Structure 1
C-alpha cells in the first residue's frame, strides 16, 4: 500500500473486541508494508553492526602488516556504509508509510462508523472521546503499528551480533550474550508504573481540553454573566494538574532512559576490563578487543528500540482501547436492509408511542419529557433502540431499508445541530432532491439578517454565499446558527422531515414567520416538529400530545388548550397551583386565554439574537391567536 493510494477502497472489518486485538488486526492488514520495513531495517541495523568487525579487521591487518586484509576490510566497510545509507533511507520511508496508512485506516473506520450511527453516536459515546480518538489517538496507534517492524529488525540484529561475537571471540562473546538480556529486560518492572502515569496525564489533559472547549463555546454567555474569571481559574487549575501529571510521567520515562544508558555503559566497562586481561595474557589480539568493544557500543543503538516499543505500546494501548470501544458500537438494525433500495412514501408511524404523522401534513409533537422526545426523534430517523420497534414510513419499517434509502426518506434535525466550517455555499451543498432552491430555504428560515451579517463580517466576499462560517458557527448568535441549520435541512427536501425544537433560540416574532415559511415550503410533504411553542403549534395541521411515552391526545392547538389540561400545562408553563385550580372548576373558556397570553409574553421575552423585529402582519397574527383562544 502506497500513500498515494489512500484512502482505502475498503478499510475492512476491524477486530474491536479489545485494544490489543485491534492493534494486531491493524498489523496484519498491512503485512506487506511491515515485511518491507523489516527487510530495510535488517539491512540498516546489520550494516551498522558490521562496522565494528570491519574496524577490528583493519586494525588487526595493520598490526600484522597485511595490506591485502586492510584493503579487504576497507572494501567491506564501504559496502557497510552504503548498506547503512540505503537501509536507513528506505526504512524511514517504509516506517512513515506504515504509520500514515495505519492512521488513515483508523480514521476511515471511524468516519464510516460515524456515518453509520449518525446522531446516535454522541448519545452513546461522549463527543469529546470521538474527537480524541480521531486525532491524538490515531497518531499513537499508528506509531505503535509502524514501530513493531523496526523493533523486530533491531531484535533480530542483536541476536545475529551476539551469535557472531560468540563465534568470533567466545571468551568475550559469552559476556555480551549474558549481559544483553539484562539490558533489554531491566526496564520491564518500571513499565506498568510509567503506563499508569501516562494514563493519568492523558486523562487530565482530556479534562482540561474539554473544559477549554466548553469555555470557548459558551464565551458569549460567560461574558454576559461575568463568569470569565471563574472559568479561567478552573482552567488554570486543570492546566496545572496536567503539568504536574506530565512532570511525574516524564520523570518515570527519564528514569527508564537513564537505565538504558547506564546498563550498556556498565556492560561496556565489564567487556573492556575482561578484554584487557585476555589481551595481556595473549589470548586475544588488539583487533579482536576493538571489535568486541565497538560492537557493544553499536548495540546501544538497536537497544533503544526496546525502550521505544515499550513507550509506543504504553501510549497506544489505551488509545486502541478507546478506538475499539467506538468501533464496536452497532446500530440496532442491519444497515444493508432486507428490502429494495427504494424511498417509500406515506404516513410516518411510531409503534412504540402510537404517534402517527399523516403524509403531506404538518404535525407538531408536544412531549413533557425532553429525553423521551429525543428518543422518539431518533426512532423516527431509523435508529430504533434495542427495545423499541422501528418507525414505519408508508407501512415499510425503516430498519428494513438500506441505510442510504432510510436517510433519504427521513431526515432528523437534532436539537443542537452542528455547522461545519467553510463557506455558506459549502454548508448548503448537501444531498438534496433539487426541488428546493437555496434562496427559498434561506427565505423560509428567515436568514436575511444572517446573510447580511456574514457578508459584512467576511472580507473579500461580495456574495454572502461565499462568506466563511467559522468552526461550529461560533461567530454567529444561537438564533442565527439555528436558522442556517434549518435552511440546510429544508434544502434536502426529504419525504419526511423531523425537526427537534428548531426555533428555541429565536425571538417570537421571527419564530412566527419561520412557522409560516416552513409550512408554505413544505406544503404537500410530511413534516414533524417537536416543540412546545404556541406560535409553531398554531400553524400545525395536527398536534400529538405525548404523556408517559404514549399518545395521550390528538387535535389542533386551540382544541387541546380547552380540552387537555396536561397539554395546556406543558405549552403555557402553568404552575401546579394553576393546573389544580383549573381542574377544581375554573371555567375552561377563561383559563386558556389567560395562560395563552402568559405563554405569548414568555415567548416574547426570549433572548433576542438581533433577529428581525416584528412587522404589522406578525403582530396582527399574535393578537388574533390570543383573541381566538
Structure 2
C-alpha cells in the first residue's frame, strides 16, 4: 500500500503548524508595528489641532512625546517581528530540505523515480526556500490586515463615510489581488519545473563530461542543453512578466483607491464636517494605507509561488514507495543485524522481462547468472536488492520471503553491488573501508579485499598509495581503477550474500583472472552470485544459470555448458 496522497496545501499547513510559535510571535509584533503605524497619523492630527489650531504648546509637546514613544515601540516591534519571521522562514526551509533528503534516501525508494538528481536538488533548495518564505508572507499579511483595520476604525470615528469606504474597498482589492495571482502561480510552477529539469540535465552532463569528450559528443550535448536552457529562460520570463503585470495592476488599483479616499476626505473638510487636524489625519491615513495594500500584493505573489513549490515538494514527499515495508517488531530491531545462513530461493519470480524464474542457491555456494538480455539482469538485480517487489512469485532468504523481512535488515544480508557503483570524496582507503563492519576490523579486512580485487595494484600506482584523495564519483581514477575500488568496497562489507554485477568489464584479461581468483578465495563459504557474461568469472563458480527470454534456459557447470549449449556460448563469447 502506498502512502496517502500528499497535497501542496498539506505541506503548507504542516510548515506553518511546525513554526507556529515563531509565526505567532511575528504576527503579534507585526500587528503591533502596523497598528502603531496607523496610530501615527492620528497623533499628528491631534498635535496639529492642539499645537497649531488652538496654540497649546504644552499639548503639542505632550503629543510629540507620545509620538516619540510610539516610534521607539515601532522600531523594536519591526526589528523583533522581522527576526521571528526570518527565523520561521529559514527554519521551515531547513526542515523541508531535511525531510526531502530523508525521503529520497529512504530504503523503500520511489521518490527519485522519473526525476533527475539535479531536479531533486532544485526542489530541495529553491522550492523549499519558497515554501519557507510563506511563513514570512503570513506574518506580513497579518500585520498589514491589522494596520488596515486600525486605520479604518479611526476613519470611522472621524467619518462614517470614510470608514465604510475603506472597510468595503479593502476586501474588494484583496479579492482582485487573489484573482491576479492565479496566472503567476501557474507560470511559477512551470518556471520551477523547467529550472529543475535544466539543473538536472546540467548535472548529468558534468558527470559524464569525460565520456562526452571521449566520443566527441560535446557539440550535441551543448546543443541539447542550450535548448533546455532556452526553454527554462522562456518560462522564467513568462513568470516575471506575470509577476510584473500583477504588481502593476495591483499598484494601479491601490493608487486609485487611495486617491478616492483622499478626495472624499477633502470634500468633508471643505464642508466643515471634519476639522483641520482630522483632515491631516485622514490624508496621512490614506497615504499610510498604500503600505499595507502594497504589502498585500507582495504577499499574494509569495503565496502563489509558495503554493506552486509546495505542490512539487508534496509530489516527492508523497511518492509511492518502490517496495513494501515491514515495520520492525521492536524499536531497535532494525538496528540489529539479521542472522542468516545465506540460502537463496527464487520461486516463480516474475518482474519485467523475467517470467516464472526458479533458482535455488545453497548457503556458501558461488553461482553465476548469465543473461542473454541485459534487461533480464537488471530486473534480477532489482528484485535481489529489493529495489522493487516482484509482480509474482518471491525471493526467499533462508526460507523467508524478502517482503516479510525488515527492509534494512534484508539489505544488510544481501548486498547488491551494481556495475555502475559510484565512489565518493575521500581517500582510496576510506572508500574501501566505508562498508566494512566494525570500522574495518571484521573477518575480511580492507587490505584483504584490496588484494582480492586488485586494488592494491591501483594503490601502488598512485602518489600517496591508499591515502590518495579520490574526487567525487571517483572521476580522478580511470574506469578500471574505479571498478576495482568499488569491488574491494563490496568485498570488505563481508555480507552473508553478495551479488556482483559485471565487476570486471573495464580491466584487462590478466587483472580479470586475478580478480576472479580473489573473489573465489575471499568469498569461500559465503554465498556469492556473479551476474556476468565474463568467462573468467564464470570459470570460478560452482555452477551457472543461463537466463534467456526471461526464463531459465540452462543450468550446470561452466565448462559443460560451453561445450554443450550454443545459446550459452553465444551469450558468453559473443
TM-score by length of 1: 0.81
1:430 correspondence with 2:434:
yes
Q: Deviations over 1:257-291 (max 9, x none)?
A: 22233233222322222222222222212222222
1:271 correspondence with 2:300:
no
1:419 correspondence with 2:397:
no
1:262 correspondence with 2:263:
no
Corresponding residue pairs, total: 554
Return the alpha-carbon distance in structure 2 between the equivalents of residues 58 and 564 of structure 1.
105
Measure how far apart 1:223 and its partner are. Answer: 1.9
Return the alpha-carbon distance in structure 1 between the equivalents of residues 530 and 226 of structure 2.
42
| Cα 1:155/1:449, change in 2 over 3 Å | farther
Return the alpha-carbon distance in structure 2 between the equivalents of residues 550 and 214 of structure 1.
34
Measure how far apart 1:499 and its partner are. Answer: 1.8
Query: Which of 186, 203, 208 lines up with 1:218 in the alignment?
Result: 208
Measure how far apart 1:533 and its partner are. Answer: 1.4
Superposition pairs of residues 169-568 of structure 1, within 5 angstroms = 169-328=159-318, 329-337=320-328, 342-351=338-347, 352=349, 353-385=357-389, 387-433=391-437, 434-448=442-456, 450-451=458-459, 456=463, 462=464, 464-465=466-467, 467-568=468-569
* Secondary structure of the structure 1 residue equivalent to 2:106: helix
Between 1:403-412 and 1:229-238, the stretch displaced more is 229-238
Measure how far apart 1:20 and its partner are. Answer: 1.7
Measure how far apart 1:554 and its partner are. Answer: 1.8
Return the alpha-carbon distance in structure 1 between the equivalents of residues 427 and 540 of structure 2.
33
Measure how far apart 1:531 and its partner are. Answer: 1.0
Counterpart residue number, 2:31: 42
* Secondary structure of the structure 2 residue equivalent to 1:385: coil
Counterpart residue number, 1:111: 101
**What are the ranges of 5 or more consecutive residues in structure 2 without an aligned counterpart?**
350-356
Superposition pairs of residues 48-67 of structure 1, within 5 angstroms = 48-63=37-52, 64-67=54-57
Q: Which protein, 1 or 2, shows the higher relative CO under an 8 Å CA cutoff with sep ≥ 6?
A: 2
Q: Deviations over 1:495-545 (max 9, x none)?
A: 111122222333333322222222222222111121111121112222122
| Cα 1:188/1:30, change in 2 over 3 Å | closer
Return the alpha-carbon distance in structure 1 between the equivalents of residues 300 and 368 of structure 2.
58
Counterpart residue number, 1:30: 19
Between 1:225-234 and 1:330-339, the stretch displaced more is 330-339
Counterpart residue number, 2:571: 570
Return the alpha-carbon distance in structure 2 between the equivalents of residues 317 and 160 of structure 1.
30
Between 1:218-227 and 1:419-428, the stretch displaced more is 419-428
Say if 2:432 and 2:489, in contact at 8 Å, map to a contact too. yes
| Cα 1:436/1:297, change in 2 over 3 Å | farther
Counterpart residue number, 1:97: 87
**What are the ranges of 5 or more consecutive residues in structure 1 without an aligned counterpart?**
1-12, 457-461, 574-629
Return the alpha-carbon distance in structure 2 between the equivalents of residues 325 and 242 of structure 1.
21
Measure how far apart 1:560 and its partner are. Answer: 1.5
